[in-house]
């Protein structure tokens, strides 16, 4: 299986602890560095950390404080939408913003890993 370089960092933005931890464990086993956020506000703070480049953000849509749609709008408004690859992870794929890859919950971890490997 593909091993990520230590430079590949994935940001998981997911308010459900079990889902977040499962994704983190799978990604770390594949050699990725992982950061996590429980809401969009934390995600934007992580993206604003200049010392680490986030390769891909796995973004839930339904979260407290700041949801996934607000994160996308914020990044679009400040011109940074294309800087980080965004993959939507949601239980309502029909509500996902157009133009972004979408994975429906419960997640097929093999498909998610293939997408992460493709984009990083």
Ranges of each domain in the chain: 9-119
Across all residues in the chain, what is the average pLDDT? 90
**Contact criterion met (CB below 8 Å) for 12 and 54:** no
Q: How much is the pLDDT for 78?
A: 87
Q: How much is the pLDDT for 105?
A: 94
Segment 30-72, tens digit of pLDDT: 999 999 999 999 999 998 877 778 999 999 999 999 999 999 9
User: Which pTM does this prediction carry?
Assistant: 0.90
- Residue 49 CA, chain-centre distance (Å), reads 16
Q: Who's near 43: CB < 8 A, 6+ residues apart?
A: 11, 13, 37, 57, 59, 66, 71
Q: How much is the pLDDT for 81?
A: 67
Positive or negative torsion for Cα 65, 108, 110, 102:
negative
CATH 3.40.50.11540 correct for 9-119: no
**Contact criterion met (CB below 8 Å) for 25 and 14:** no
Q: What is the rounded distance in angstroms from the CA atom of residue 19 to the CA atom of residue 108?
A: 12
Q: What is the rounded distance in angstroms from the CA atom of residue 87 to the CA atom of residue 103?
A: 8
Better-scored residue on pLDDT, 2 or 99: 99
């Amino acid at each position: 299986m593909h091993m990520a370089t230590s430079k590949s960092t994935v940001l998981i933005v997911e308010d459900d602890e079990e889902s977040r931890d499962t994704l983190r464990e799978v990604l770390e086993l594949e050699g990725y560095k992982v950061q996590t956020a429980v809401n969009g506000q934390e995600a934007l703070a992580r993206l604003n950390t200049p010392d680490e480049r986030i390769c891909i953000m796995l973004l839930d849509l339904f979260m407290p404080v700041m949801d996934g749609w607000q994160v996308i709008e914020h990044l679009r408004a400040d011109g940074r939408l294309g800087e980080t690859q965004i993959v939507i992870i949601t239980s309502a794929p029909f509500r996902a913003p157009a133009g972004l890859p979408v994975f429906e919950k419960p997640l097929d971890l093999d498909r998610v890993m293939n997408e992460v490997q493709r984009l990083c």
